[in-house]
Structure 1
Amino acid sequence: MGEKPELPEERSLRSVLHPKTAEAIARHLELETVGQLLEYFPRRYLPRGELTRFADLTLGQDVSIISRILSVSTRRLHTRRGSIAEVTVTDQLAPEGTQAGRVDGGFGGRLDGLAASGMVPSDSPAPGNVMTLSFFNAWTASKDLAAGDHVMFSGMVNEFRGQLTLTNPHYAVLTDTGQAGAPGDEPDPSVAPLPVYPATAKYTTDRIAASVAVVLDTVDLRQCTDPVPEDLRTRHRLMTAPQAYEAIHRPRDEEEPHKALRYFRYREALVLQTVLARRAAVLDAQRTSPYPARPGGVREVFDTNLPFRLTDGQRRVGEEIAADISRESPMNRLLQGDVGSGKTLVALRAMLQVVDAGGQSAMLAPTEVLATQHFRSILDTLGPLAEDVGVVVLTSSTSAGAKRQALLDIASGAAGIVIGTHALLGDNVSFASLGLVVVDEQHRFGVRQRHSLAGSDGEPVHRLVMTATPIPRSVAMTVFGDLAVSVLDELPAGRQEVSTHVVSLADHPAWEGRLWQRAREEVDAGRQVFVVVPTIGDDAPTSAATGGYDAPDSPLQSVEGLNRKLASLPALAGTRLATLHGRMDGAEKAEVMNRMAAGKVDILVATTVIEVGVDIPNASLMIIMDADRLGISTLHQLRGRIGRGGLEGTCLLVTEQNSDGPSMPRLQAVASTRNGFELSTLDLEQRREGDILGDSQSGHRSALKNLSVLRHAKIIEQARSDARALVERDPDLIEAPDLLRAVREAGDQANTEYLYRG
């Protein structure tokens, strides 16, 4: 058999464009194939009948603007050889009868040498509506540009003599006619929007448009692959792929780009949903050991001895999880609940059910402080039952002797519940019959770390991941249907609301002294205080210092520096201060937390190491310095450390920014709600979705090109339904070869390996 013919989208741009043009596109835009250029969409469209408002321009901004030329003058330079052309432009439209037309397809000159037909009005525009552009070595500009022309200029906004200007901008004259050709072949020049592409200083938007036009006119787009099957395209009234490419790059009116984006968004959602649907089919076919509830077992005794009543949410979620782990299909569930909503208790009851059925459970915690806290809390909660269950902890700081015994208990099955940090992921840890993995604060672990623990002989295990504020990726995966979701939406009895306030020291410098007076008042009332700062020492910022957000250049507060300052304040004289940070070894951290829990520390100055799991019921006040440097999830977690023992809590978000600062909306949002999903939605809006199919957690580089999980949820839901029905009917996608090809490209082993491990 001969080789398969090359698809149009696989063709090199060198085979379609002039070699120098193709080389420039590869160098400046990193695009090398026809498909890559076709998928390089405009970022916006300029209405041809409107001019760009100069009032909207800002210094240093890269812009593409449409304006009308008032005059062109050329003069010799006094200080060096050459000449300068000064082009005066306005953002006011010409009198009735002037038309703006089609963008020039070449580099700078007027299309076909035709001049615009507009005329300069006799009444001059107001000064604020006029800008003077400068062109050095000006022969070309003075030849191409004339009064009355409508021109698209591209360049960086700079300043000269107090006025905004563009220097040597790239330009393309808009004319009142289209390219040569049969009447009606071209879009109406009076209404066709002008695409503006993501461009560079050396490869401007009109040059990109010209190259795209050549591709559209040369390549037979009907031969391109179209992942959307015809029946789905017809059902949803979508464009074909060739129609969509034409409409996105050369729209005839302002509606066409929207129709094209409907196709491209649905196509993207369908491909991703089909990847997930095929993986879900694989997971559904997998089998693991079931762990049904046993009457009279440890969990039933535990429930009977609880000194309080489970909340309705804890009972409902507990039943969902109990049903999941009773089945042979592996559970893959997200448990979301605000800090203090009782997630750990729900997880403990599930782990006890597994122990009753002869299995083991592992709880992964991101820090030693949290792992140790979970260990002690579970021992206290179980009481005498702990001996029957067998509870061990394993961290990097566990002593050699204790580690040997823990590993033996894990391997023999004597340990029914194993709590640990990343140390549990080591090759030397071998479980006898691992049945359930609980991942606490799941965003602290990479995808493969979360899925590295497996049962005997690699058998999949049931998984429960817990978080108080889902990170953007988790919200995205929830919308995309990869995880079953349980929500704890009520606080247990005894938990108090925490009032949160933003304190701007820029607006109110005197409030800094009041901060420490408030701390003293809490201490005098017999309560305890957390003070959180983003760094350890004056010369050592931590990785959490910016929380994924841009930070200003002012120095950060540090544990060491602030502790020295507080020790010297008369307002805090006699208070017992302590510090806690990530550089301390496990024994030091444990000693500090033991003193804090015993009430022997009044004010604990710490980094975000206390973010999760720390339970000090007597703590009623938290002061977070440089709060603008921390992310939404971190702030939400931190304030959950107070108000845990029946005392009302107060959290103060302290910032050096003024009320108009860039981080203020984020801080005010945290202050206004305790709802974790609301905050994660805001986080998602600001940080994007992350890599839907891969390992990326930060969200700064979204794998989604045209989709937003917030704005396009209906499209995603429709694509999910279509993909599941399609895969159920045709698991191998024999009837949809183009979709299969796209699925293989999107869901290669490197990106979706973890989905097999669910």
Structure 2
Amino acid sequence: MLGFEDNRPLGEVIPAKQARAIEKYLGITTCGELLRYYPRRYLHYGTGADLSGVQAGDTVTVVGQVLDSVTYPSKKQPKRPITKVDVHDGATLFKVSFFGSNYARRVLQPGRQVMFTGKLDYYRGEPQLQHPDFVLLDGPTEATGALRQLGHFGDIEQMLAGREWLPLYRKKDKLNSWTVMGAIHTVLKTLPRIDEPLGFTPIGLLPLNAAVRQVHEPGPEGPWRAVERLKYDEALSVALAMGVRRMDAAAHSAPELPYKQDGDEAALLERLPFPLTRGQKEVVADITGDMANNTPMSRLLQGEVGSGKTIVSLLAMLQAVDNGAQAALLAPTEVLVMQHARSLTMTLLNAGLPTRVVALTGSMPVAQRQDALLKIVSGEADIVVGTHALLQEGVDFFNLGLVVVDEQHRFGVEQRDTLREKAGETTPHLLVMTATPIPRTIAITVFGDLEVSTLRELPGGRKPIQSAVVPEFKPRWVERAWEKIREEVAAGHQAYVVCPRIDGEGGVLEVAEELSATEYKDLEVGVLHGRMKGEEKDAVMADFAKGGLDVLISTTVIEVGVDVPNATVMMVRESEHFGVSQLHQLRGRVGRGGNASLCLFHTLAEEGTPGFTRVSQVAATSDGFALAELDLLNRGEGDVLGTGQSGIKRTLKLINMVEDYDIVRRAYDDAAHLVKNNPEFARAATADFEAEDFEYLDKS
């Protein structure tokens, strides 16, 4: 990684017992790893503790001045006098109590600067701390309780002398913030000067040597310039890795697949029953130009639900077919694969085109699968639609020219690369698509190796989907929602009911059984969920698509890509259990046929709770890009990027995907310059990055 390395074993620098504890609870074994374990927040003398979101029983740290101190005997235990101290932290007055502590009685005198750590309580609305650990900050001291951990790393008074800012580190099991603080203080004392990784300090930023030290031990001006520099280095590391990926992709040779005036693509454009939107025309022009070159296209197409990405991808696939090449469409679920295969086939048939579409899934019967494989390897299949089964050994293409990946965030970089490698000597062009709008910071971070195209407008005839929140605490509203579904069915339309689970109360099976026996006993009610076999799911979806079912009770397997134009109403049950983007995706399953449509967000959440607020925000806007930013704000980039598996998140410890766009943008501009002018440096700086470090993982 770009920056600095300090591979000294931690046990050679700090006491062995504390080194073992840090390894046990944090998995950290080297000095460099410890220095990248950044404070979660800071205490600044006189500015007050942030008590927002803090509840009684939570442990807090308070830095303030003693205003008053009184000691009096306890009636129950005369030998344990009670010392009560008023402490003001610059914003809040805390009542602090000690029982039988002669040290507290002696040293906690008015005017002293003290740091307290203990469990917060409230009495008559006033914040209280009972017998907290503490340490004096303005003179001779001995720490109490957990704060004694600082003593393992040297003189506490010397360690805290002159500090206006105190770092607080995340407590992990039995490892407290003070142990980490003391260990980092010891490492910093022995840390050699850090050289600039670029050979110079970027304009306007703090030198890296100062930033690494000040992020843990800020001076009077605070830690913010240090944090800014380290954020820049994080973003630059990822940007360089993405730049190298882009450079490497451009070095490969791709088949030249120019637009053919007399080809199937041109014929489909002439015979479509609707005109392309301006945005679709622009994206098609970009893709047409990319595919005509012998440099592999690497393009991300993001678009609102229903913005017409599928027809754009079909035109691109026909451009490949027009040049004698095959196209592969990779989709995340078997339901979506079969949906795509049927939809593409019907579009081509209606246009009178002979293009051959073949589907391949893991659950196909052996004979059907063998037939599909033969058509793929012989070249009889022009367009191949499949799940990850396309990545398996034994799937060989005759002449693969274009790979289209639908719902890109379900697939990793390595999986995409595996499919591209199946083309043999040349690298096929790549188009990845997502209906989950991507916040702009993530777009340039996680997808920095791709050109980004965006479809914002809906095709003509599409009407905005009306949305409403249906709270369980308003029974009449819930009753009206069920009535509305019946009214839509009576008008000749169809409905979805989405449940958060399969079994149990409120699950698909229970809701379907109850509705079939009561409100909708005279309607055709179907069930769809992830435990069903592939052919069962396909049969249900096919039945629903042709109008054989009035109401489909389903889990989120219908979230992506399912296209039934006659469906005009959806009820999402217990919608507080779903994320912002997921609710927006589900809503996009209705309103696809030009009819006025409605999405009802049922919720068990009480008004004013985070869940209720989130659902209300989704209902209030249909702008997927605004909702993507809201999703990031609500859940944080850790969830959006994926946890545990995402190297991006391991690398971006400080970057805030909501607030730090300007820093990330600057880093990416600088990285592009470095990759162009000093590719050897860029490759060396990112040598330890792996492809899986750049996964944009599904959050569900």
Give the corresponding residue for 2:57. 60
Q: Which amino acid aligns with 2:513?
A: R
Distance 1:586 1:473, change over 3 A: farther
Correspondence 1:492 to 2:459: yes
How much does 1:45 deviate?
Answer: 2.5
Correspondence 1:242 to 2:240: no
Alignment partners' CA distance in 2, 1:517 and 1:89: 63
How much does 1:64 deviate?
Answer: 0.9
Give the corresponding residue for 2:69. 71
Give the corresponding residue for 2:427. 460
Q: How many residues align?
A: 676
Correspondence 1:560 to 2:558: no
Q: Which amino acid aligns with 1:528?
A: Q
Alignment partners' CA distance in 2, 1:26 and 1:93: 34
Query: Of the candidates 85, 88, 94, which is equivalent to residue 92 of structure 1?
Result: 88
Alignment partners' CA distance in 2, 1:377 and 1:465: 19
How much does 1:196 deviate?
Answer: 2.7
How much does 1:331 deviate?
Answer: 1.3
Alignment partners' CA distance in 1, 2:620 and 2:372: 45
Q: Which amino acid aligns with 1:242?
A: N
Q: Which amino acid aligns with 1:475?
A: I
Q: Summarize the alignment of residues 26-41 of structure 1 with structure 2, pairs less than 5 Å apart.
A: 26-41=23-38
Correspondence 1:226 to 2:193: no
Give the corresponding residue for 1:197. 169
Q: Which amino acid aligns with 2:212?
A: Y
Distance 1:741 1:397, change over 3 A: closer
How much does 1:433 deviate?
Answer: 0.6
How much does 1:28 deviate?
Answer: 4.9
Give the corresponding residue for 1:11. 8
Alignment partners' CA distance in 1, 2:685 and 2:374: 48
CA contact (8 A) 1:72 1:146 kept: no
How much does 1:175 deviate?
Answer: 0.8
Give the corresponding residue for 1:321. 287
Q: Summarize the alignment of residues 618-657 of structure 1 with structure 2, pairs less than 5 Å apart.
A: 618-657=566-605
Q: Which amino acid aligns with 2:555?
A: T
Give the corresponding residue for 2:150. none
Q: Which amino acid aligns with 1:226?
A: E
Correspondence 1:743 to 2:686: yes
CA contact (8 A) 1:622 1:650 kept: yes
Q: Deviations over 1:17-57 (max 9, x none)?
A: 34444445444554443323333333323222345477985
Query: Of the candidates 253, 259, 264, which is equivalent to residue 293 of structure 1?
Result: 259
Give the corresponding residue for 1:501. 468
Name structure 2 gaps, 5 residues minimum. 143-157
Alignment partners' CA distance in 1, 2:484 and 2:646: 36
Identity of aligned residues (%): 39
Q: Summarize the alignment of residues 84-483 of structure 1 with structure 2, pairs less than 5 Å apart.
A: 86-92=82-88, 129-134=93-98, 138=101, 141-142=104-105, 145-158=108-121, 165-175=128-138, 189=162, 192-200=164-172, 202-216=174-188, 218-222=189-193, 224-230=194-200, 233=201, 235-253=202-220, 255-383=221-349, 388-454=354-420, 455-457=422-424, 459-470=426-437, 475-477=442-444, 481-483=448-450
Deviates more, 1:198-207 or 1:669-678: 198-207
Alignment partners' CA distance in 1, 2:447 and 2:383: 32
CA contact (8 A) 2:646 2:692 kept: no
| TM-score in terms of structure 1 length | 0.81
CA contact (8 A) 1:317 1:486 kept: yes
Alignment partners' CA distance in 1, 2:69 and 2:269: 86
The 3-state SS of whatever aligns with 1:10 is coil
Q: Deviations over 1:333-353 (max 9, x none)?
A: 111111211111110011001
Alignment partners' CA distance in 1, 2:358 and 2:568: 31
Distance 1:204 1:751, change over 3 A: closer
CA contact (8 A) 1:447 1:695 kept: no
| TM-score in terms of structure 2 length | 0.87
Q: Which amino acid aligns with 2:116?
A: F
Alignment partners' CA distance in 1, 2:468 and 2:342: 33
How much does 1:143 deviate?
Answer: 5.5
The 3-state SS of whatever aligns with 2:60 is strand
Distance 1:562 1:474, change over 3 A: farther
Q: Deviations over 1:229-266 (max 9, x none)?
A: 31xx1x5132222322333233232x341111222112
Distance 1:505 1:296, change over 3 A: same
Distance 1:130 1:237, change over 3 A: closer
Query: Of the candidates 685, 704, 711, which is equivalent to residue 659 of structure 2?
Result: 711
Alignment partners' CA distance in 2, 1:699 and 1:627: 30
Deviates more, 1:651-660 or 1:147-156: 147-156
Q: Which amino acid aligns with 2:84?
A: T
Alignment partners' CA distance in 2, 1:720 and 1:466: 22
Give the corresponding residue for 2:149. none
CA RMSD of aligned residues (A): 3.5
The 3-state SS of whatever aligns with 1:71 is strand
Alignment partners' CA distance in 2, 1:691 and 1:277: 25
CA contact (8 A) 2:82 2:99 kept: yes
CA contact (8 A) 1:503 1:654 kept: yes
Q: Summarize the alignment of residues 493-572 of structure 1 with structure 2, pairs less than 5 Å apart.
A: 493-506=460-473, 508-538=474-504, 557-569=506-518, 571-572=519-520
Alignment partners' CA distance in 2, 1:55 and 1:334: 40
CA contact (8 A) 1:473 1:689 kept: no
How much does 1:76 deviate?
Answer: 8.4
The 3-state SS of whatever aligns with 1:194 is strand
Correspondence 1:682 to 2:630: yes
CA contact (8 A) 1:188 1:252 kept: no
Q: Which amino acid aligns with 1:561?
A: E
How much does 1:320 deviate?
Answer: 0.7
CA contact (8 A) 1:90 1:130 kept: yes
CA contact (8 A) 1:476 1:689 kept: no
Alignment partners' CA distance in 2, 1:77 and 1:213: 45
How much does 1:712 deviate?
Answer: 1.7
Q: Deviations over 1:45-90 (max 9, x none)?
A: 32223454779852132211124443364878979xx975644233
Alignment partners' CA distance in 2, 1:624 and 1:647: 19
Q: Which has the larger radius of gyration?
A: 1
Distance 1:432 1:626, change over 3 A: same
CA contact (8 A) 1:694 1:752 kept: no
Q: Which amino acid aligns with 2:69?
A: S
The 3-state SS of whatever aligns with 1:464 is strand
The 3-state SS of whatever aligns with 2:215 is helix
Alignment partners' CA distance in 1, 2:497 and 2:9: 59
Q: Deviations over 1:690-729 (max 9, x none)?
A: 5999996789956411212332222222222222222322
How much does 1:201 deviate?
Answer: 7.2
How much does 1:615 deviate?
Answer: 1.9
